[in-house]
């Protein structure tokens, strides 16, 4: 593996035959020269661009992203891969580094962005949320900048959205089809003229994605319902009749398609999202 381009002491672009490789490691670029053999003992992580577009994007962003953010993103990704026992596609390095740099810049200017999906992310994807917490702590240690909890959720979503592998791709396809089916029911029963840019609609879609992802998971357990949930559901049936009926039809559709039973708590959350959507339309 030969050095092709040196970005800084810890990041360089190498080549192995026709394959370009982004190499990250403490001191891996220190006192190196173009054409020299990369010091194997200093390599911590390699990224193998599968498409020319990846390398082009990386090279274009070298002038826009400080390489300390590339190093930070690489560390966070490596930690997440070990913790979640999975691999992420190499595009995540660029996206995460760019996001972190932008988040830090906003924080320094006191211009944080509110994460409206923080609650859902924390409760439905606790492992990824923990990665987000560790990432924010690592960023604070490296840059002396403490990001808001909203960024914990944003970083967690990066990993939720970027899972790699054929099984995940197959699940993503199933999720898309199921969500499309659910939204057809919503348009038919509630309103064909839904504001797709509305926050309540976006929250509904994200909630559906989380719900379906859990139902399709091999680890999903349909635990016994909480008696309080039954009481709450009866209250919703009487007070939010239209949203409740739509939620029931959606659950029946989902259960038929996934062959999994949904808990009463799922009906409650779904009814709440549908009711918010109705109130926004009215």
- Give the span between the Cα atoms of 100 and 108, in whole angstroms: 12
What is the rounded CA–CA span in Å between residue 154 and residue 100? 10
Residues 6+ positions from 117 with CB-CB distance below 8 Å: 153, 157, 203, 206
Q: What kind and span of H or E run contains 81?
A: helix 67-84
Tens of pLDDT along the chain (282 residues) come to: 898 888 888 888 888 887 778 888 888 888 888 989 998 899 888 877 666 666 666 666 656 778 889 889 989 999 999 998 888 877 788 889 889 999 999 999 988 788 877 877 787 678 899 999 999 999 999 999 999 999 999 999 888 876 644 455 566 667 777 888 888 898 888 877 777 667 777 778 878 887 887 777 766 666 656 677 788 888 888 888 999 999 999 999 988 988 888 888 888 888 988 888 888 776
Q: Is the pTM of this model over 0.85?
A: no
Q: CA-to-CA distance for 266 and 255, rounded, in angstroms?
A: 12
Residue 3, SS3 per DSSP: strand
Paired residues of 12 in beta bridges: 6, 23
Helix and strand numbers (H, E) in the chain are: 11, 4
Length of the chain: 282
Order across the sheet with 19-24: list the strands.
2-8, 11-16, 19-24, 45-47
């Amino acid at each position: 593996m030969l050095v092709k381009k040196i970005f800084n002491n810890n990041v360089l672009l190498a080549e192995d035959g026709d394959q370009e490789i982004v190499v990250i490691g403490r001191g891996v670029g220190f006192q190196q020269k173009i054409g020299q053999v990369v010091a194997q003992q200093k390599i911590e992580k390699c990224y193998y661009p599968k498409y020319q577009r990846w390398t082009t994007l990386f090279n274009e962003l070298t002038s826009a992203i400080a390489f300390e953010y590339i190093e930070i993103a690489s560390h966070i990704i490596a930690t997440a891969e070990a913790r979640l026992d999975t691999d992420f596609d190499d595009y995540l390095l660029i996206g995460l580094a760019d996001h972190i740099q932008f988040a830090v810049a906003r924080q320094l200017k006191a211009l944080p962005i509110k994460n409206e999906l923080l609650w859902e992310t924390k409760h439905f994807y606790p492992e990824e949320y923990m990665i987000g917490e560790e990432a924010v702590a690592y960023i604070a240690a490296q840059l002396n900048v403490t990001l808001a909890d909203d960024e914990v959720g944003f970083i967690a979503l990066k990993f939720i959205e970027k899972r790699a592998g054929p099984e995940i791709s197959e699940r993503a396809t199933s999720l898309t089809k199921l969500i499309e089916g659910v939204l057809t029911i919503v348009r038919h029963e509630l309103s064909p003229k839904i504001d797709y840019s509305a926050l309540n609609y976006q929250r509904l879609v994200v909630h559906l994605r989380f719900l379906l992802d859990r139902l399709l998971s091999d680890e999903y357990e349909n635990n016994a319902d909480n008696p309080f949930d039954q009481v709450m559901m009866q209250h919703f049936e009487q007070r939010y009749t239209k949203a409740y009926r739509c939620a029931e039809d959606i659950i029946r559709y989902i259960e038929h398609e996934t062959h999994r039973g949904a808990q009463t708590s799922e009906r409650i959350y779904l009814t709440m999202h549908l009711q918010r959507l109705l109130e926004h339309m009215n």
